[in-house]
Structure 1
Amino acid sequence: MLCVDVFTFQAIDGPVIGKVVASGNNKFVKGDLVLGVFTWAEYCFVKETTIMRKLEPSEFPLSYHLGVLGKLFINYMAHVGFFELCKPKRGEKVFVSAACGSIGSLVGQYAKLFGCYVVGCVGSQNKVAFLKDKLVFDDAFNYKEETDQSSTLRRYFPEGIDIYFDNVGGKMLEAVIDNMNTFGRVAVCGATSEYIDIRKRASLDLVNVIYKRIIIQGFLTPDLMIHHFQNFMIKTSNYLRTGELQVTEDISLGIESVPSAFVGLFNGNNIGKKIVRLVEEEE
């Protein structure tokens, strides 16, 4: 008997900025730049329903529309998750995990600009230096060098944590709950530590959650996009114009760099928004 394994390979779709090379739709002409959820490829066929909008000439670099000004989930989540779910007050103590990522780096900056005390955790010493020197976090630590996350957080937050923007889940979330103040808020944006290892799923102390009246809320960007996107664009654009918000991008060139770029996200290789540029931008 012959046993044959059959593997089906499927193209990956994701947020993309593309240039129209031919169009059967009178809303778009050759040369238009469009933003949408397209196939990761040098060329692809798209339907109008997958196009979010046409990009007009802008004062900002094209890559910003995939990153800091992106309506495609990622960086809008930083603004909405922090301001609409966490409802910060000036002077509150804010902790951000995966703080050098595309979302965490923005959350920390928004919190600082709002007047909060901000600490981030990352996976290397050069990222610690980046948060403190470049993004002006109040403090940061390398979680890989800490054996007891709960005691580490007590060291950085002797008065407790008011807001936690969670990008990793797992043991870090457990440690935060141990150190959270009464009426603390947790915005659960991601669970990176749990995606590939179910043994690392968080086991929360619910008694702590109850008696401290902690709010823990997961969210998806479409839940809040309609009502808050305009406010996000105005505020973030103004921060960019004044130089108060630093943009961090990690850009690779060429379609052949897609696999390593994708895998690198889960290994923590990137600082800021990871972008693959298929061709050099035209002058």
Structure 2
Amino acid sequence: MKVLVIQQRYGIGDMVIFTPYFHAISKKCKSPITILAKKSSKAEELFLQDKSIKEVIQLNNTNDGFFGFFKLLDEIKKKKFDSVVIFNGSLRYKLLAKLAGIKSIYQYPLFISKDVIFESAKKLSEKFTNLPVKTETKLILDEINHNLKKKYIFDKEFLHILLGVSASGPTKRWDIKNFINLAKKISQIKKTKFYIAGGKNDENIISEVLNSDIGKNCFSLLDHNINECMFVIKNSNFGIFNDTGFLHISAAFKKKSIGIFVDSPAYSYSGYSEFIYPVVPEGESIKTTSHNTRGKDKVKVEMVFSKVLDILN
């Protein structure tokens, strides 16, 4: 059976959250699936070694939007899919599937909004597979990158901690000085190497870490691609993150991962995994922390350090 799965959210973390549903669909069909995804989700890199994923069709400037619809339709038609699973409530993708001649269409209710990302995905996947589907994520990375293995020595004398300082906007980003002060406190109880993960727009804040008192034990992953970052994350002990894609990659490698949620839906982006330890602003709960919480100044260093001690103990 040839199955197309459409997951058009922009983020890397979003894509990682959907991995158990991709795997469940592939297992049910007894064949690898094709994913239609935004280029920004980095799906091609995330699933480079995943045998459940046959192909990633990228949504980009040429086949996305109104004018790209018919180019995308031609591409989908040629592949002659038997079924499609659409992880959104868009009329556009339902129309695409029908015009492409796909007979079996599974989709969220049209125009669905304000859903819990993993709950909606689980429900649709279980409808397709007619089986229970777990929400815990998994990424595949078996091949060793020999250059990185030479560069990074994950010796047991040190703790190896990821610091995910990036975020999709300034209101979602815990202040970089907090990360530095937290790292200082950790270094006082155990010799530690810190691996600083961020995007191209985070160069200034990463430089602030590298030029700080803890800088000599810090390594920037700024120039690393997603697969290289995955290698470092997989070999680290645990991580401390803003609400960023690196948080979800870490959890997918079964690493204990502290997620600092200050202005995004904490439950939606942590409730799916036992490996995510959410921290939310004072006065908020996991269920109440969402968009427009604007709580970056209400998460104290001691709150996050307490989670670190829980992990170490």
Q: TM-score range by the shorter chain?
A: 0.3 to 0.5
Question: TM-score w.r.t. structure 2 length?
Answer: 0.36
The answer to which structure has the higher strand fraction is: 1
Question: TM-score w.r.t. structure 1 length?
Answer: 0.39
The answer to which structure has the higher helix fraction is: 2
